[in-house]
Amino acid sequence: MRLPNIKQFVFSLAAIISSFSSAAFAQQNVGLPTIELKAGIYRIQAELADTPKAREVGLMNRTNMPTNSGMLFIFEQKAGHCFWMNNTKIPLSIAFIADDGKIVNIEEMQAETTNNHCPRAAVRYALEMNKQWFSERVIVPGTVIQGLPKK
């Protein structure tokens, strides 16, 4: 019985690990454009999920998010766009936002669940932040989010 060449083994193992890391990296929507939004006195650095693929992946598989960072989902049409947390590792809050920037409703979402979280009115925007980010800052329905891109 002949043992495999150790260099070949290490090289193969490194290639396998690299391919898994690349796949995980690609799934995290890394490299999305960002925009600065404002909610009252608070500044938000939001990644833009404005394509079908970016919206599909969202914040899946991430294990953390900086405090004043989030993800802004932008849809082409106003509708009852619902969200769930399948493959999302961190708990989030989501604000559904009308075209005039006013928050319609805010939902708290648990990590790794498939419960639907839907707006109370047709919207084109949804902003995901760390869980309780909105409530800790007393940002409630009716609060205006400034800086939304016009599509």
| Claim: this prediction has a pTM higher than 0.75 | yes
CA distance 88 to 93: 12
Query: Which residues on adjacent β-strands are paired with residue 108?
Result: 93
According to DSSP, the β-strands at 69-79 and 42-49 are: parallel
Residue 75 burial (CB count, 10 A)? 17
pLDDT tens digits, residue range 102-121? 999 999 999 999 999 999 99
Fold classification of 32-146 (topology level) = Jelly Rolls (2.60.120)
Where exactly are the structural domains of the chain? Answer: 32-146
pLDDT at site 31: 84
User: Helix and strand tally (H, E) in the chain?
Assistant: 3, 7
